[in-house]
Chains A and B, each alone.
Chain A
Amino acid sequence: MPQVLKLLVQRLALGLLLLFAVSVVIFLGVEALPGDTAQAILGQSATPLALANLRDALGLNDPPLTRYFNWLWGLLHGDLGVSLTNRQPIGPAIARRLGNTLFLASAAAAIAVPLALILGIIAARYAGRWPDKIISAVTLTTVSLPEFVAGYFVIYLLTQLIPVFQPVAMVLPGMSVWARLHALALPVIVLVLVVLAHMMRMTRAAILNVMESAYIETAELKGLSPMRIIWRHAFPNAIAPIVQVVVLNLAYLIVGVVVVEVVFSYNALGQYLIDHVTKRDLPVVQAVGMIFATAYISLNILADLVAILANPRLRHPK
């Protein structure tokens, strides 16, 4: 399928261009914030002399363009540099936290995605009847709750009333997989509640959309059971829009869960990014921003590919 390959190469090139643009935007954004790294580090205790010394030591007196290209050069060589605030190398710190971010996102996705699909199919099967109404009402309620409210609610319910889990979800080196999963339980529950509705609604809508086609009517007239019609005939044709939404939610699980991280003191990338934004620690903000952008862009490329592969017309163009 040379067509698909060509498309893939095109998308990847576009993705790289986008990443470059993102790095410029992040750099300009941090530059535009009031105060600089030196002021953010010293805070209330800044004296003019200390500020001048610190700026000098951090290389903040170089022109912005020089600093940007120095950073870009390092990045292209796989060197993310050293955090300006605590002089620790950025690479290893990010690697550990990225692992935690992906672990949380995968755990939540492993539950949320199948559950959403199943609930969506059930809702489509019984569209307009009580199972559909209950599923819709419950998922729409949970998605309407702000994440921190849901977080505090499960903390209260599952650590105080029924003490089965712990409120602080830190994942630390040396913990067994079981201990990690146990620590993660509460944030996973919250994230599942948050992302479920969107994917479920899309599954339901896409299937119902397909169900109106003439070939489904044929299948019905042939006497196939409703569940079989949905599973064998409707679902494969509804997959493209569903995958788009699933991928959007996966991207959210990776880049958008900082509130949940804070509520459960989960040591992942979002919290790390916020800490360094507060301190105007540009190299770290750049690095994490690039990782988030990469995740977003590559997931979207993946969604496009799946949509193409799922559609025979796109797979075998005339």
Chain B
Amino acid sequence: MTDQLDQMLTRARAGRMSRREFMGRTTAMGVSAGIASALFAKVARADEPVRGGTIRVGLSGGESTNSLDPALAASPAPNITAQTWGEKLLDVTAEGDIDLRIADDLSSSPDAGEWTFRIRQGMTFHDGSPITAEDVVATYTRHTDENAQSGALGIVQGIAEMKAEGDKVVLTLESPNADLPYLLADYHLTIQPGGGFDNPAAGIGAGPYKVEEFDPGVRIRFSRFDNYFDSSIGHADAIEFLIINDNTARTAALQSGQVHMINRVDPQVAELLRSAPGVEVKQTAGRGQYCFVMHCDTPPFDNNDLRMALKLALKRGEMVEKILGGLGSPGNDFPINAAYPLFDESIPQREYDAAAAAEYYARSGHDGSPIILRTAAVAFPGAVDAANLYAASANDAGIPLQVQLEPDDGYWENVWNIEPFSASYWSGRPVQDQMYTTAYLSTADWNDTRFENAEFDELLIAARGELDLAKRKDMYSRMAYIVRDEGGFILPMFNDFVDGIRDEVKGWYTDPNSELMNYRAPVRCWLG
């Protein structure tokens, strides 16, 4: 109970829980109303959000080619921009719960095949028009159009029928999916007036801030939207994103106070920055993965003994230390970690074992010809060094692993998902189902390990309709073992999100969903 209470106090302190919610939850836990009230007053007074000021954010990952169309968002600056002016039906909290935004109620049929969302009354878009169920349906419809090039196409494709009925949106799925609310929290699915059909890049949404100026690759400026429904969000009067792609300049801008927060602190300087005055380094364990992928259907990787030998020939701890500067955690050859709901902590960590690797290698009967691992600097930060470290430890185990450098240009088109063994990066998904569906289902476009396992596919489909969480957790655990012991996925490490903030930034909390508090730091923090 103390854990829960601590968690609630933290949330209340961060201004993310209203007094009423706090009282309701704590008294439900058996805390007397008097004590609860006193507790809330104490934490709330300790760090009351301050209104006003301009929060400036220095961002890596913005280009002058960016657009305001949320369907096209695919790098940090467009993502965080969409999160600032846009609002979605639902969101995912830092704790992995569903947070109701435009929807104020949701329910599903017992088999999770049909979902009903009620639209919150009185909410408006920045242009003053009320948000209706039709807007929601139109938005999702736009994302189902191939020509919209939406990053959320894979999600909305699974919806067989969408209906607006008064203030309710009814979605019927192709096959039951208990995770649908998590999928609808995808950052592309920002609700736009009329679905954004007229002008998808208008930048008009229902989020806490309005776009004032959009100069892609340079600066994006916002002012607070006064009709926003949630008063616990949107403390600063204005927000400004400056695109500073150069690591040194971004860090210097934070140190000199030109910006209040930055994303992607370079692991090489994180330690130094920690000791700088006026600045704090925020490290968040997330779901992003730096990995090597083998095609399970292409020789020599079609032999599971060889795959196992390669998995055992990797020094994961060394990778985390040397490639991530300690800012990460070792991987275990399946794409899920503790940042996901329903993660099975009991799966044993795979370690470097030269003897076992040599044994598997001998058993595989490989002819001793070099095993080529293709990599490029663009695969992930430090990819070339990581591949060389891997080759060294594999050679120690007698495996003739050889690194081949590829040009950055065209790496994702010509090497990854084409060559049988290459370095790659995955940013993770909010729930296990989505991660596995995107890259491990035998029919997935992005099945970059050419993984085909009937038992795995069956478990994945069955788990979607399984509303009993304990049973689902068992199914996911079994799937993790299958990928870990039979798949073509070699995962040395999960990388942490490393952000930098100045001391005057208050209200920061840890959110494993993405960098900068899942892109919410500018709208949820305040300047103290």
Contacts and interface: CB of A to CB of B under 8 A. Distances in A.
Interface of A: 33-35, 39, 41-47, 49-50, 53-54, 57, 83, 85-88, 93, 152, 155-156, 159-160, 163, 166-168, 170, 172-173, 262-265, 267, 271-272, 275-276, 278-279, 281
A160 B255 contact: yes
A272 B201 CA distance: 20
A93 B252 contact: no
A275 B147 contact: no
Contacts of B18: none
B95 interface: no
Contact of A39 (B201, B413, B425): B413
Which 7 pairs between the two chains have the least Cβ-Cβ distance?
Answer: A167-B252, A34-B410, A85-B65, A86-B67, A267-B218, A35-B410, A44-B412
Contact of A43 (B412, B424, B445): B412
A275 B256 CA distance: 27
Of A54, A87, A167, A276, chain B has the most CB atoms within 10 Å of the CB of A167
Contacts of B65: 83, 85-86, 275-276, 278-279, 281
Nearest to B214: A88
Interface stretch (B240-248, B318-326, B347-355, B516-524): B240-248
Nearest to B258: A166
B248 A155 contact: yes
Contacts of B153: 50
A93 B216 CA distance: 10
B215 A265 contact: no
A168 B249 contact: yes
Contact of A35 (B243, B246, B409): B409
17 contacts: A45-B151, A45-B446, A49-B146, A54-B149, A155-B252, A156-B252, A167-B258, A168-B58, A170-B218, A170-B219, A265-B243, A265-B249, A267-B219, A276-B64, A278-B63, A278-B65, A281-B65
A265 B245 contact: yes
B249 A271 contact: no
Contacts of A170: 218-219, 242
B146 A50 contact: yes
Given A87-B201, A167-B252, A267 B410 contact: no
Given A50-B149, A86-B65, A160-B256, A275 B217 contact: yes
A272 B147 contact: no
Interface string B56-92: 0010000111110000101000000000000000000
Contact of A46 (B218, B248, B256, B412): B412
Contacts of A271: 64, 217
B67 A265 contact: no
Contacts of A264: 246, 249
A263 B412 contact: no
Given A170-B219, A172-B219, A272-B217, A53 B147 contact: yes
Interface size grouping (class) on chain B: 35 or more
B434 to A, nearest CB: 14
Contact of B256 (A35, A159, A281): A159
A178 to B, nearest CB: 17
Nearest to B56: A168
B269 to A, nearest CB: 12
B258 A265 contact: no
Interface string B16-59: 00000000000000000000000000000000000000000010
A176 B217 CA distance: 22
Given A86-B65, A262-B246, A267-B217, A166 B256 contact: yes
Contacts of A279: 63, 65
Nearest to B216: A86
A265 B250 CA distance: 9
Given A168-B249, A279-B63, 11 more contacts: A33-B409, A34-B409, A41-B72, A44-B425, A49-B146, A87-B67, A265-B246, A272-B64, A272-B217, A275-B64, A278-B63
Contacts of B217: 267, 271-272, 275
Contacts of A272: 64, 217
Contacts of A263: 246, 248-249
Nearest to B259: A168
A264 B213 CA distance: 21
Contacts of A262: 245-246
Contacts of B244: 168, 265
